[in-house]
Amino acid sequence: MKRLPEKLLFYGTALVVCLMLDQHAAAQKTPRVRISINDAWKFFPGEAAGAERSDINDAGWQDVKIPHTWNAEDTVDDEPGYRRGAGWYRRELKFDASFRGKRIFVFFEGANQIADVFVNGTLAGRHVGGYTAFCFDVTDLLRIGGRNLLAVRIDNSHVKDIPPIDGDFNMYGGIYRDAWILATDSVHVKTTDAASSGIVIRTPRVSAETATVEIAGTIVNHSAKTRDVEIVNRLVGPDRRSAATLVSKVLLEPNAETSFKQTSKPIRKPALWSPDNPDLYTVTTTVREDRRVLDEVSNPLGFRWFRFDPENGFFLNGRQLKLRGTNRHQDHAGLGNATPDRLHVADLETIKNDGFNFLRLAHYPQDPSVLEAADRLGILIWEEIPIVNQIHVSAKFNENAKSMLREMIRQHRNHPSIIIWGYMNEVFLPVPKDHEVVRATVDLARELETICRTQDPTRATAIAFDWGARDLYNTSGLGDVPQVVGWNLYHGWYYETFDDLGKFLDDQHRRFPNRSIIVSEYGANGDRRVHAIAPRRFDSSIEWQQKFHEAYLPQLEGRSFIAGSAIWNQFDFGSEFRGETIPHINQKGMYTFDRQPKDVSFFYRASYSNEPVLHIATRDWSRRSGPRSQSIVVYSNAARVELFHNGASLGTRSVQKNKVSWPVNFVDGRNLLLAVTGSGARRVSDQAEVHFDQRATAGSIGVNSGSHTEVVDDAGMIWQAEATVETRGWSLVEKDSKPVETRRNILGTPDDPVYQTMREGEAEYHFDVPDGPYEIELRFVETKFMGSGERVFSVTANERRVLDRIDLIKEAGFFKYLSRTVTANASGGAGLRINLIAVKNLPIISGIRVKRIDR
Ligand code: GCB
Ligand code: CA
């Protein structure tokens, strides 16, 4: 098809008229159809020569449905790495006679990361980049009435020219978003402009009093005749009533594309879109010839305006609004990135319910259903392309980055929820040694910035920086490129202390008073199995995560120059190389990978939501041992709360910064907690239960050697903190031993937080238990010596050798867990004395558990 220069063709003056909807309600249905092709695929996990050809037999291939990834399992198993390479998908397509004369397209919402699409053996198109949609015209390759083969080769190999080349998330391979067939009349709204809707909607003037809408688009005439069509744009308001109808006539030259642009008359008192009131309009674009509808597409429209201000943050519709936000990755436990729309939408609903008004789609463009939900629910969006941690200096890298940016903007720009286009994240994370890399990065940023400003000057632009290269971001000039600077800050997690956060921000604001700042990430691990009365930085305890957020929030809220913030992260997400207490998972979520709320999510709900919130924050720690008196926290937005323990009031206390706590004296067994606020119709209550057992679980005492954390293991056994020795029936004689730990995956066990913390040296554990026979479980792992014979030790119980010259490498292997159960007798009231005895190098132990044998 020959391409004419894009032009505006109007008959006489542009006919822009406002008419009532019903006068234009065309009876005909649009010939455009969209058919899901998610089902009935064959999949081969690897390279398959000639797989695009129909004479290849795929009977032995796997039957799969889209969304699909081949990395859902190997990103969470004990084998390091996951398969990055090729995968083939095949499917039959059939079209009956009604498709004759139509244009037919294949439309993929996303596939990671290179897609080669073949129809009947011929390449229809290639798409590079894992997070944007693509659409190919396959009409001329199809046999209408016959059988057709659609074959897609996907490749998620690491390619240094394709962002992201690095990142703390999994680059799962596959066709992991919905796929469609589009069929249109030969005259249609363009479908192949970067897989966008072909329509651009703007509101050049908008206020509470009046607004004008500008609608532009491109119509393709794929027929051999000049066509005389009418473009009708109908605006339907949130009340489902027609707000305006724009009509213009356009002359379409044969085999050419023609652009149009319409501007509405002023629309009086438009319903404004905001997080509190996400009033959404729909624009339906109809192409008509005489009375016949040739094509129809719909787009969202929201009337809102905003600006960033370096001193006073962010303003929406003329009012200051703190962006109270969070970040989200698209993957889910068990599914990888093959997330169905239903779960995307559920995530956005969770975010809305927790009271957030802002979401950063880190670190890549997300599913269409995410943006639709954000428009509908009222969540302001920062969307970005995946340049993460570093660039690769090459022309191809730059080209790919630019096309990703263009695609993201074109595909999503009509969503009123979007306020920011981002294009780099922590791009100096490994601080470049070579100044050329710094220069190339800044040059690329300038080019990307220009693309944003020319493609869509109505949104702000942003880059997210990290603390490690903080000076370089400023001295290199990168900090002056975007309109908003994002800081990803982890004071009190990776470095420094909580209070240094505010100091850092104040210093930046003082030095760069003209910069708008968002704290685009902040967060800390939280593993629901790991607890501490005295939590420490980096221990992955739920309690440190709570402290972290409780300390951050007032610092962010208290600074009006901070436009907003976004938690890292709303949900735990997959990051294969990580080896903290939940290996392969980044566990900084407010929710687990399978979307269970952690107690800290209620701290945000109490802080941000307008609904009454009252939550006893002990769901994550419902089975406890250790000291009898422990603190129970309640998160609430009420002024005062009363707490009852097994029916007795512990008093009413006033809530400070959405938090209040009581010391509770636990009794063995069941402890019922009841929190109450308000009275009468305004009474709100919450109930939770703690099972307490000072001697830990069911007559057995477990000790988490070398750790101040209390852990519940996979079998439900409690491993008490070693650090808080009390009258709990056991004690530790440290001798020369000391705690050591690893932050790597322990192979073969889900009980990483027990094994990862160890005591090394000739320690003695004394269990003050009554006379009788006992079973003793000893847990070990070797994380230091790789060779057999390098560490050898024995274990005695009451001076009797229960493990003789054990060698963990020989018994289990490097980083492989080892659990040994032995028996011993306590007699003469002396309890059990368990000693580690060195033979070669120092002995080591991860956990020790003593259980009476019932006879
Ligand atoms: C960051 C990155 C993000 C990581 C996060 C973390 O700054 O932008 O991708 O996942 O830190 O958890 O370390
Ligand atoms: Ca341990």
Which residue's C-alpha comes closest to atom 6 of ligand 1? 168
pLDDT tens profile 236-281: 999 999 999 999 999 999 999 999 999 999 999 999 999 999 999 9
Ligand 1 centroid to residue 112 C-alpha, Å = 21
Ligand 2 centroid to residue 758 C-alpha, Å = 5
Choose the residue to mutate in 426, 489, 538 for probing ligand 1, maximizing ligand atoms within 8 Å of C-beta.
Answer: 426
What is the chain's Cα-based Rg? 31
Structural tokens at position 369: 């259903």
pLDDT tens profile 473-489: 999 999 999 999 999 99
pLDDT tens profile 92-140: 999 999 999 999 999 999 999 999 999 999 999 999 999 999 999 999 9
Q: Which of 109, 372, 426, 543 is catalytic?
A: 426
Stretch 294-317: mean pLDDT: 98
Return d(Cα 153, Cα 162) in angstroms, integer: 17
Amino acid at residue number 163: P
Ligand nearest to the CA of 494: 1
Return d(Cα 643, Cα 652) in angstroms, integer: 7
pLDDT tens profile 431-465: 999 999 999 999 999 999 999 999 999 999 999 99
Read out DSSP for 242-292?
EEEEEEEEEEE-TTEEEEEEEEPPPEESPPBB-SSSB--EEEEEEEEETTE
**Least confident span in 57-71, 160-174, 410-424, 731-745:** 731-745
Higher pLDDT, 793 or 726: 793
Choose the residue to mutate in 170, 364, 493, 521 for probing ligand 1, maximizing ligand atoms within 8 Å of C-beta.
Answer: 521
Q: Residue 706, by phi and psi: left (phi above 0), alpha (psi -120 to 50) or beta?
A: left
Burial class (CB in 10 A: 0-12, 13-18, 19+), 261: middle
Residue 168 CB less than 6 A away from ligand 1: yes
Which residue's C-alpha comes closest to atom 3 of ligand 1? 168
Of all helices (H) and strands (E), which one includes residue 258? strand 256-263
Return d(Cα 708, Cα 724) in angstroms, integer: 7
Stretch 329-339: mean pLDDT: 98
Residue 586 CB less than 6 A away from ligand 1: yes
Distance from the first to the final alpha carbon of the chain: 88
Confidence of residue 21 (pLDDT cuts 50, 70, 90): very low
Residue 488 CB less than 6 A away from ligand 1: yes
Query: Other C-beta atoms within 10 Å of 538: how many?
Result: 15
Q: What is the model's pLDDT at position 20?
A: 30
Stretch 519-523: mean pLDDT: 98
Residue 161 has φ and ψ, to the nearest 5°, of -90, 0
Residue 170 CB less than 6 A away from ligand 1: no
Strands (E), 614-716: 614-616, 623-624, 629-636, 640-645, 648-654, 659-665, 669-677, 684-692, 700-704, 710-712
Return d(Cα 139, Cα 192) in angstroms, integer: 13
426 is catalytic: yes
Apex 49 CA angle, 46 and 53, nearest 5: 115
Ligand 1 centroid to residue 371 C-alpha, Å = 23
Stretch 539-549: mean pLDDT: 98
Residue 521 CB less than 6 A away from ligand 1: yes
* Percentage of residues of the chain with pLDDT beyond 70: 95
Residue 426 CB less than 6 A away from ligand 1: yes
**Least confident span in 118-122, 320-324, 768-772:** 768-772
Structural tokens at position 40: 């009935």
Q: Name the DSSP class of 705.
A: T
Confidence of residue 769 (pLDDT cuts 50, 70, 90): confident
Q: What is the model's pLDDT at position 735?
A: 79
Strands (E), 471-586: 484-488, 516-521, 530-531, 562-567, 573-574, 585-586
pLDDT tens profile 705-759: 999 999 999 999 999 998 645 545 667 777 789 999 999 999 999 999 999 999 9
Q: Name the DSSP class of 140.
A: G
Residue 466 CB less than 6 A away from ligand 1: yes
Nearest to 740 by CA among 763, 724, 715, 718: 763
- Write 647-650 long-range contacts (CB < 8 A, 24+): 647/672
Directed axis angle between helix 542-557 and helix 500-511, to 10°?
30
Return d(Cα 127, Cα 138) in angstroms, integer: 14
Q: Is the pTM of this model over 0.85?
A: yes
Return d(Cα 853, Cα 278) in angstroms, integer: 64
